[in-house]
Amino acid sequence: LVGLHHRDEQGPRLRAAVLSSFILCRPSGVPFTPNSFGSMKDTIVVLVVSVGCAFTLSGCGGPERIPVVPASGTVTYSNLPLDGATLVFAPEGDGKYVGSAISVGGGEFEIQMNNQKGALPGRYKVIVTKYVHTDPVLDSGGHEESPGESQLLTPYRYSRLETTDLSVEVPDGGSTDLKIVVPEGSTNDPTKPQTGKPAAKKGGGGAHGG
């Protein structure tokens, strides 16, 4: 469970799997935010619902194969490659399959959908999240005063299905050159990790208004 915000590479992978299932299975009207996983109790509920949904969709014989096409590319934040980020691809329209990916070195990613490499052709809204883990706070005697915590590095608005305006189109023949650009200076200072709460409003709009 704690892997949702764990420092190793399994954290983003587990988060991508859970977010994909949650987006697909959440009841109508239930918003998706990083704070959907803000407590251990919430995490347990989401995991149970997600796993149950996955079994329901796949059946005992495993998920049916779908006609995916190659779907890979790069993600950048403030004009720099963004590695170690969790990406979720929610279909626009009536699509029922949600894709996910973890960006690696150079910001490269490959979408996986229905336990297959690739994605169905179509347009997707994109959620991008990257967490960093802060060091524990020590007192004057070197004893741990408070533990480190996971903080959201990427702009909060792009971690919510309801507010993200990032999107990508997977063409009929597939693509290995998809581009996801998280705008520079959109809401958060990329050098200062943010908590999972919305940043305080300031005067003037960002470079990526909306």
88: Cα within 13 Å, side-chain hemisphere = 27
Asked if residue 106 belongs to a domain, the reply is yes
133-136, long-range: CB < 8 A, 24+ apart: 133/5, 133/7, 134/193
Residue 18 lies in a domain: yes
Residue 107: predicted pLDDT:
97
pLDDT at 81: 96
Find the mean pLDDT for residues 84-110: 94
Whether residue 117 lies inside any domain: the answer is: yes
The verdict on residue 90 lying in a domain is yes
Alpha-carbon dihedral 151, 157, 162, 166, rounded to 10 degrees: -120
**pLDDT tens, 21-48?**
555 555 444 444 444 443 333 433 344 4
Q: 77 - beta bridge partners?
A: 80, 182
In a domain, 191, yes or no: no
Amino acid 150: pLDDT: 77
> Domain count of the chain?
1
Q: Is residue 209 part of a domain?
A: no
Domain range holding 135?
2-182
Mean pLDDT of the chain, nearest integer: 72
pTM of the model: 0.63
pLDDT higher than threshold 50 for residue 52: no
> Does residue 24 form part of some domain?
yes
pLDDT band at residue 13 using 50, 70 and 90 as cut-offs: low
The angle subtended at Cα 71 by Cα 60 and Cα 5, nearest 5°, is 70
Phi and psi at 130, nearest 5°, equal -140, 130
Confidence of residue 207 (pLDDT cuts 50, 70, 90): very low
- d(CA 90, CA 98) in angstroms, rounded, equals 5
What confidence category does residue 92 fall into, taking pLDDT thresholds of 50, 70 and 90?
Answer: very high
Asked if residue 103 belongs to a domain, the reply is yes
- Mean pLDDT within 173-177: 98
Does residue 181 surpass a pLDDT of 80? yes
CB count within 10 Å of CB 121 equals: 17
